[in-house]
Structure 1
Amino acid sequence: MHLRLPATLLAFTLLAACSATAPVKPAATPETSAAAPATPAADDNLNAVAWSQTALEHDLIYLQTYRDAQARLLAAMKDKDWDALPKDDRAVPAKGLKPAVVLDIDETVLDNSPYQARLIKSGGEFNEADWAAWCKEQNARALPGVVEFTQFAAKHGIAVIYISNRAKDLDEATLGNLRKAGLPVSGPEAFLGLGTFVQDCEQIGTEKGCRRQLVSRKYRVLMQFGDQIGDFVTVLANNAEGRQKAMAPYLPWVGSRWFVLPNATYGSWEPAMFNNDWSAPRQERHRLKVNALRFD
């Protein structure tokens, strides 16, 4: 934690020999400066990214989540009726299938905050080219607790499956990054990225329902992990009401079958405040987000 210290008071002595010289102006301080503070960018993500990178609380939440899940995992495996897939994603009966855990990747397994930090520094917004370049660096670190949890699962014969909305051409880079970060990867089939073909299932946008159905044909899913609601269940309408409706039947599963991780830097929660219209100007999106705030 960095503490803010009071500005140092400077003493100035006017010498007779310099009487003809204009006096030196004291350095501006918070108490003396009349300049207006700089206005943050409309979509300023600074605090959220700084929290993700520097707050010990952020890391403790991840550790707490994965440790709690690990403590529950073997009991879930022994319960033959235990399944963490929504009923709409269960294509075949789960009983008798091999056990698995399903994890999202970005901000669930891998930390991409350096990419967000670069956007803050450049003043830019997310774009596919820069994102792909970052992914191909394969330098994203594993988030706290996830390596230990996934290795524990693999050691006990539980398949570790990653479902991500990274583009298809990032498959190899993503697998390489996962391995580099120490995460178990049984093979390419353990990673289901965007564009994965699932027979007899039509994918809606970036929703993961079809890929969860694909997993359900071979596995009994013990737990799911993600930082977005869509990592767990299909969200038909990405607005406040639609998001609550999608989660309502499964609230008892949160903390036992579903483990939700924090992401204040980006996510489907943000466009839900401006009607999912990314084509709107940044200032307009900013205005609508302010309107969505509560003031009492």
Structure 2
Amino acid sequence: MRIRLTASVAALVLLAGCSAQHTAKPATSAQVAQASDAGKPAADDNLNAVAWTQTAIEHDLIYLQTYRDAQARLLPALKDKSWDALTKEDRAAPVKGLKPAVVLDIDETVLDNSPYQARLVRSGGEFNEADWAAWCKEQRARALPGVVEFTQFAAKHGIAVLYVSNRAKDLDEATLGNLRKAGLLVSGPEAFLGLGTFVQDCEQVGTEKGCRRQQISRKYRVLMQFGDQIGDFATVLANNAEGRGKVMAPYMAWIGTRWFVLPNPTYGSWEPALFNNDWAAPREERHRLKVNALRVD
């Protein structure tokens, strides 16, 4: 789910002053650490996250495990005619007689955009719409492990594969092209519901996907949903720890059965929740608030 990407954030480096007095006090451990950091590259908030995403085999194994587990559960869900993976708020029509479908987010759920994040780390820049659009139009994002096999299995058993993404409307063609190049099944433009999708009698709230899920619910019984953000599954109106927890609380039993959550440490709504969703704040201030959010016991 593309909400807002985090970029490399320069950490503050405080240099200890040097005393010219012969009777200077011994340096504190903090001063020694500060002095040793002089001349070193600034720390990057996203470096380890992107490096793990691109190089750790554990990353790929989690995706394989998730999609294989979902595949093993798919046919039993198909046989259970009352099975539905939409919240009561998103279910706009009774499930009886509707075609079965699975709903997948795209970014970091289906397609791997870590090269774009890596470019930000190397350049020291932050997310911007122009560079993101240019990356999308390259159509070079690879399919994440396990998803191609899962979607092929679903389609083989008569289950529609639907993609719901928050990519901008002008990226629709590039997105569909990238999905196909990556080997993913796309039955047609109607299988893709991007941010610009109009849903009659439903008011779009920011980038929330509720209206699009409601539109899907009128034609399909949704067996499973996949995403890397909780907004891929339900509407989040208060993006803070309390609000996010409240949204998920009624559906914890659905995790791993109807809802399948993929890991994304590089960006997402979890990050601005740590700095009051204030992207206008200086990078240093956002960094400070994220550090303050860490637990040390």
Q: What is the CA distance between 1:35 and its match in structure 2?
A: 4.5
TM-score by structure 1 length?
Answer: 0.87
> SS state of the match for residue 132, structure 1?
helix
Following the alignment from structure 1 to structure 2, what is the Cα–Cα distance between the partners of residues 110 and 49?
15
1:62 match? 63
Superposition map of 1:47-196 within 5 A: 47-196=48-197
Superposition map of 1:209-220 within 5 A: 209-220=210-221
Give the superposed CA RMSD. 1.0
Amino acid at match of 1:220: R
Amino acid at match of 2:190: E
Considering only CA atoms, is the larger Rg found in Structure 1 or Structure 2?
1
The superposition leaves residues 211-248 of structure 1 with CA deviations (integer Å, 9 ceiling, x where unpaired) of 00000000000000000000000011000000000000
Following the alignment from structure 2 to structure 1, what is the Cα–Cα distance between the partners of residues 156 and 136?
28
2:259 match? 258
Following the alignment from structure 1 to structure 2, what is the Cα–Cα distance between the partners of residues 239 and 100?
31
Following the alignment from structure 1 to structure 2, what is the Cα–Cα distance between the partners of residues 40 and 223?
42
> SS state of the match for residue 161, structure 1?
strand
Amino acid at match of 1:164: S
The superposition leaves residues 178-210 of structure 1 with CA deviations (integer Å, 9 ceiling, x where unpaired) of 000000000000000001100000010000000
Amino acid at match of 1:287: R
Aligned match for 1:40, one of 31, 34, 42: 42
1:248 match? 249
Unaligned runs of 5+ in 1: 1-33
Following the alignment from structure 1 to structure 2, what is the Cα–Cα distance between the partners of residues 68 and 233?
22
Amino acid at match of 1:281: P
1:229 match? 230
Give the paired residue count.
Answer: 262
2:198 match? 197
Q: What is the CA distance between 1:154 and its match in structure 2?
A: 0.7
> SS state of the match for residue 89, structure 1?
coil
Q: What is the CA distance between 1:40 and its match in structure 2?
A: 3.0
Following the alignment from structure 2 to structure 1, what is the Cα–Cα distance between the partners of residues 176 and 116?
18
Amino acid at match of 2:177: G
Following the alignment from structure 2 to structure 1, what is the Cα–Cα distance between the partners of residues 112 and 42?
25
Amino acid at match of 1:275: N
Amino acid at match of 1:78: K
TM-score by structure 2 length?
Answer: 0.87
Report sequence identity in percent: 86
1:31 match? none
Following the alignment from structure 1 to structure 2, what is the Cα–Cα distance between the partners of residues 278 and 171?
26
1:16 match? none
1:281 match? 282
Following the alignment from structure 2 to structure 1, what is the Cα–Cα distance between the partners of residues 173 and 184?
15
Which segments of structure 1 move beyond 6 Å, counting only runs of 4 or more?
none
Q: What is the CA distance between 1:67 and its match in structure 2?
A: 0.1
Q: What is the CA distance between 1:95 and its match in structure 2?
A: 1.4
Unaligned runs of 5+ in 2: 1-34
Following the alignment from structure 1 to structure 2, what is the Cα–Cα distance between the partners of residues 91 and 39?
53
Structure possessing the higher relative contact order (Cα contacts under 8 Å, 6 or more residues apart): 2
